[in-house]
Amino acid sequence: MPAQQGWPTRRALLPGSGPICRPLKKSFSLTLIDALDTLLILGNVSEFQRVVNVLQEGVDFDIDVNASVFETNIRVVGGLLSAHLLSKKAGVEVEAGWPCSGPLLRMAEEAARKLLPAFQTPTGMPYGTVNLLHGVNPGETPVTCTAGIGTFIVEFATLSHLTGDPVFEDVARKALKALWKNRSDIGLVGNHIDVITAKWVAQDAGIGAGVDSYFEYLVKGAILLQDKELMAMFLEYDKAIKNYTKFDDWYLWVQMYKGTVSMPVFQSLEAYWPGLQSLIGDVDNAMRTFLNYYTVWKQFGGLPEFYNIPQGYTVDKREGYPLRPELIESAMYLYRATRDPTLLELGRDAVESIEKISKVDCGFATIKDLRDHRLDNRMESFFLAETVKYLYLLFDPDNFIHNDGSVFDVVITPYGECVLNAGGYVFNTEAHPIDPAALHCCRKRKEEQWEVEDLMREFYSLKRNKKFTLKRASDHGEEESAKDPRDASSEKGGEKRSSKKSSHSLLSCPSQSFNSKLAVLGQVFLDNT
């Protein structure tokens, strides 16, 4: 489909909230980046390889464009990180030092650095928009939606672990904690906040538009980083959400300080919530809420942006369905947890509805109005990045994404052996899968800032089984030896080859603890574990 001239934020705005979560304008191959990992998950390896080459030749972030910090992160940084970590599986020839180096990783880092000026506020909470060439505009509004502040830890922590630069994870954590610090006395957060003064501008509290992925990233950040603090924060929010916003397995909007109902509506973006509940083991509540949402789907053949719960019908001017993925996403998670055939029925209904209503000559069009199925002349990139992907994964139990850890790859990095592709992938909010094991591949000490790429190129240029000596700058000027790292990776079945090494060898690292290996499987911890 032809490149779009611009596309909106996936976060719908609340009535009267104003254009705070702004669009990310088309300027750097957004749809290509957003859909890249979908190609591999669907098995189109050759097209994945072709697009990787196209991106290396044509993407430029040094452009005078005002971009959404939130959208650039989840679509561009997240898409590039996922594609980088999947490159070898897709048959791309990776450079020496991968996954700790590589062209897609460098592109992700470059894009993320363009966003860092937005975090330079008194509170640590970022502005919503940044100019990719000049930084934050002098007249930029300080009002940002909650999701636009709390949706960075998955991508930025991954980037810090792969590059060794802690600045990304640090700013993401600071933003998360600022929101936590400014929650109300009854434990809720609002929809929009002033990032300079930390005053809440929109005080509607709920699980949907403008807030959603903040809660999502507390859970997924906790799983990815095995971080008990992040999980504890979410569980406290979960209690408040159930106490004040939950009614008959629906979730309403309430005033964040008083808990009184402000909007008795269901938003299509809220349909991610059952899937998130499944990740913390709250499957029974998740299924009941999912079935509520599914009744709305069956009523219209899709989820309207807003649905008035008491009236049982759409909200004026919110009747459209831009082929959002959230209900299908929840179906995929819940089916993995329960194998309930009802979830496959939703998948079948989604395929039939989209095929029957939305398919046009050059793609799949947004449904402008679910009441009469009129179409709009646009296709959102999240349809390719998320909706298609989650539908495919719902019906493909043997996809590599669903790996249970029974098979895996062992790669050699400058910092030791590294296990990858063992499963437990953590999806960012744009459905870009991150391999949690990769975060353990690139640890290095600050006193050993030797050139990774040059060192690995030297290793791979040596003949098989040839021994050599490396010099490392140290207080004692000692020399240490290591073997050609290809020896270990060439063993059949991915088995490790043992070899004698100095206890301080540059190429050795302590074996992972049992708990670290469990992180590969995406273990979730709760208060009682």
8 A C-beta contact, residue 38 and residue 433 = no
Domain shared by 57 and 114, yes or no = yes
DSSP H helical ranges for 304-451? 326-338, 341-353, 381-382, 388-395
Name the catalytic one among 34, 169, 204, 305.
305
Catalytic: 478? no
pLDDT per position as a tens digit, 264-288: 999 999 999 999 999 999 999 999 9
**Looking at residue 415, what is its pLDDT?**
87
CA-nearest of 39, 32, 72, 73 to 55 is 32
Domain shared by 291 and 379, yes or no = yes
Query: Collapsing DSSP states into helix, strand and coil, what is residue 314?
Result: strand
- Read off the CATH number of the domain in which 197 is found: 1.50.10.10
**Looking at residue 77, what is its pLDDT?**
98
Name the catalytic one among 34, 37, 71, 349.
71
Domain shared by 245 and 359, yes or no = no
Residue 81, in any domain of the structure: yes
Of 335, 369, 397, the domain-final residue? 397
Domain shared by 66 and 37, yes or no = yes
Domain shared by 182 and 122, yes or no = yes
Name the catalytic one among 212, 216, 270, 386.
212
Q: Which residues line the annotated binding site?
A: 429
Catalytic: 305? yes
Residue 211, in any domain of the structure: yes
Catalytic: 380? no
Catalytic: 212? yes
Domain shared by 271 and 393, yes or no = yes
Residue 216, in any domain of the structure: yes
The torsion angles phi and psi of 353, rounded to 5 degrees, stand at -65, -50
pTM: 0.81
**Looking at residue 404, what is its pLDDT?**
95
Q: What is the DSSP letter of 439?
A: G
Residue 462, in any domain of the structure: no
Q: Which residues line the annotated binding site for Ca(2+)?
A: 429
Domain shared by 75 and 132, yes or no = yes
Domain shared by 310 and 419, yes or no = no
Report how many domains make up the chain.
2
Residue 12, in any domain of the structure: no
**Looking at residue 170, what is its pLDDT?**
98
pLDDT per position as a tens digit, 159-195: 999 999 999 999 999 999 999 999 999 999 999 999 9
Residue 430, in any domain of the structure: yes
Expressed as residue numbers, the domain containing 237 is 24-263+410-449
Domain shared by 112 and 180, yes or no = yes
Of 360, 376, 397, the domain-final residue? 397
The CA dihedral of 283, 232, 393, 428, to the nearest 10 degrees, is 150
All residue ranges of the chain with pLDDT < 50 are 1-27, 445-453, 463-529
8 A C-beta contact, residue 81 and residue 38 = no
Residue 186, in any domain of the structure: yes
Domain shared by 299 and 427, yes or no = no
Domain shared by 441 and 325, yes or no = no
8 A C-beta contact, residue 149 and residue 173 = no
**Looking at residue 2, what is its pLDDT?**
36
Residue 37, in any domain of the structure: yes
The first and second tokens of residue 128, run together, are 């919503």
Domain shared by 220 and 104, yes or no = yes
Name the catalytic one among 326, 349, 386, 430.
326
